[in-house]
Every structure is written in C-alpha cells, then in structure tokens.
Amino acid sequence: MLKIIIVDDDALIRDSLTLILEMEADFQVVGTAANGQEAVALCGSAQPDLVLMDVRMPVMDGVLGTRRIREQYPATKVVILTTFKDEAYIKEALKHGASGYILKSQPAESIVETLRAVARGNTVLEAQVASSLTHMIREGKKMSQTDLELTDREMAVLEMVAEGHSNREIAEKLYLSEGTVRNYITVLLDKLSLRDRTQLAIFYLKHF
C-alpha cells in the first residue's frame, strides 16, 4: 500500500485528488495539507511514502516544502504537481530532491501511473516539462568519462539512471543484481559529490 499526502492550497483540488487516488487499491491518502509547512509537519506524523506537492502556495511554497521534506524524511518521495511550466521551479524542485514533475492538466490515469513509477524508483517528468528541462540543463559544460574517472560499467549505470530506469530495470539490462546496482549508484554519488539519483540524472544531462 502506497501512503500518500496531497498538498495544495485549493481545497477542491485536494478533495478531487483524494477521490481519484483512493479509487486505486494500492493507494491510501493518509493526509492533506494546504501549504509546504503543513506538509512537513504532517510527514512527521503520517510517515507517507510519497507527497504530491503543489508549487505556488502561501506560507511555504512547494519548492521549499520539498527541500524540507527531503532533508528531514529522506525516505519520502515528492512529486511536484502544478499548472505552471516554469523552468526555474522545475530546476529548483529537482535540485532539492523531487522525483517527478507533472502538470494538473494531465489525465487522472496519467497522474496515477506517474505515482506508481516514482514509487518504483523512477524519476518522471511530464513530456513538455522534460523537453524544457533537457534544453535548459544541456547548456552546462560538457565532460568526459575520463575526466570523471568513471569505469565503463559506472558510466552505463549513470546513463540508465538519467533515462529514468529503476534499479531493477538497470539490473536486468546490465545482467547485474539489484544490490550491485545500488553499490554502483553509491559509488557514483560519492565520486560526483551528489546527494541522490535525481541529481545523478541532472548531472548526466547537463554534462554529457
């Protein structure tokens, strides 16, 4: 059962999303909040697996809310849900550990599948958002595998993380165990001085 918190300053949206998600047998909405500050506090008591977070809210916006949640409750994943295709918000939310960024205009079934994908360990971006993000971050300085002292296998794992594959999918494609893939990701995070797989994905798109 995937435990979810819904965060939005619009009560109608909170109620609508709650109805949609609770129709799924594998979802349980364990709380709702009207801003990032309430969401952080609620994570302490409800211990959700995933937070569905709006961006523009009073008191504390979704970007800062994401940062606080990821710092205090690293096991909790955050998916940003918004009407705004704002590059600055996309960049900041992902930098602070969001695992996905989708638009409220998407069909309900698409939102549901995104949440399931994030729960499996993938990073999911709505198509228009992904296009914008890729264009934005590919402007960074290019690097080579040699510059970073990465092995061929480490490079293959990094590339697949950037493509949004879960550890299980990487293991199957590279004929490794999931434990070995986790070890490679730990080594990559250490070598590149990064915090999580979302930052690995952004690093790859920016520098390769």
- Give per-residue pLDDT as tens, 89-125: 777 777 788 888 888 888 888 889 889 988 888 777 6
- Give per-residue pLDDT as tens, 44-63: 999 999 999 998 899 999 99
**Contact call for residues 206 and 140 (beta carbons, < 8 A):** yes
- Report residue 162: phi and psi, to 5°: -65, -30
Per-domain residue ranges of the chain: 2-136, 145-207
Hey, how many other C-beta atoms are within 10 angstroms of the C-beta on 172? 13
- pLDDT value of position 176: 93
CATH of segment(s) 2-136: 3.40.50.2300
Question: What pTM did the predictor assign?
Answer: 0.66
Whether domain 145-207 has CATH 1.10.10.10: yes
- pLDDT value of position 162: 85
The mean of the pLDDT values for the chain is: 86
- Give per-residue pLDDT as tens, 123-154: 776 655 565 555 555 555 567 777 788 899 99
- In the predicted model, is pLDDT for residue 193 greater than 60? yes
Which of 23-27, 30-34, 52-56, 103-107 bottoms out in mean pLDDT, i.e. has the lowest?
103-107
